Amino acid sequence: MPLQNRSSRTRQRTVLLVVIMVLIVTIVAVLAAVLLANGMKETSMELLQWKGRGTTKNLQEVILGRCYNYITTVNPELRDKDCQKIWEKMQKAFIYKNPCNITIEDYQPLLDLASHPIPCNKSLFWSKTNDLVHRYTKTNHNFLTLEDTLLGYMADGVSWCGNPSSPGINYESCPKWSECESNPSSVYWKMASKMFAEEACGVVQVMLNGSIEAGAFRSNSIFGSVEILNLDPDKVSTVQIWLMQNIGGPPSHLRNLVVFKFCTSLRLCNPTEALQILQRPNRFV
């Protein structure tokens, strides 16, 4: 009998130890889960801080709405474009990513879906004439700016950027170009501008601001650093410059217009060198 009592007590102690160990493991697991949840909650609130305006509210609805309007009203020839897929590719290019590490490759799937041909003799490039050039194209449909293409139409005036932590999109702030060049908007517009230039053919128009004291042509502008370098000499015959004077003054811009041509054969001249004269201060003021 004493042997049986010792055996029984041993089993009881073993059961008790097992119960205690299970309780300890359970408590540790619960505490770990709580700490992890709190840590994830804190991480999700850690938005990177930038100097630019944040992502446009209701960005998805804005992009989809503009896309559908473009393919049904502005350019019905593109009615077969899939706006939902276009938005998905655009979102995938920047969501949950550091907004200073965006590449052209991130946007390539979007470009493949949204790009489309530009009719010859209709391409109109611009620099420092934003308001004027778009008021002009709204009344004169003989020309198209980048903002009149699907890529430009969807993103005009819109801002967006991602964030590595949840919710993946930063609605509070986005980086300016001066903070980092490889931000979502800058990369997007350079990519779209390159595409627009590569599609240009025939006679190409350029509207520049002739009232800028530093000169109408800026080599570091999108036009100077991206678009003019990607014009195809096999497709573009002539580049015609419109120098607009007194921008922001009385509505007599076209009376102050200076038009001249350069590169009647794009193969026979360097466009950038030909435009150097426009960099001279007050050259056309």
Residue pLDDT, tens place only, 140-149: 889 999 999 9
**Domains in the chain, start-ordered, CATH in brackets?**
52-266 (1.20.82.10)
Q: Which of 120, 161, 174, 180 is catalytic?
A: 120
* pLDDT tens track for 47-102: 889 999 999 999 999 999 999 999 999 999 999 999 999 999 999 999 999 999 99
State the SS3 of the chain. CHHHHHHHHHHHHHHHHHHHHHHHHHHHHHHHHHHHHHHHHHHHCCCCCCCEECCCCCHHHHHHHHHHHHHHHHCHHHCCCCHHHHHHHHHHHHCCCCCCCCCHHHHHHHHHHHCCCCCCCCEEEEECCHHHHHHHHHHCCCCECHHHCHHHHHHCCCCCCECCCCCCECCCEECCCCCCCCCHHHHHHHHHHHHHHHHCCEEEEEEEECCCCCCCCCCCCHHHHHHHHHCCCCCEEEEEEEEECCCCCCCCHHHHCEEEEECCCHHHCCHHHHCHHHHCCCCCC
pLDDT for res 67: 98
Q: Catalytic site residue 174?
A: no
Q: Which of 67, 161, 174, 201 is catalytic?
A: 201
Q: What global pTM score does this model have?
A: 0.75
Per-residue confidence at 227, pLDDT binned at 50, 70, 90? very high
Q: pLDDT at residue 41 above 50? A: no
Q: pLDDT at residue 32 above 60? A: yes
Q: Catalytic site residue 269?
A: no
Mean predicted lDDT score pLDDT of the chain? 82
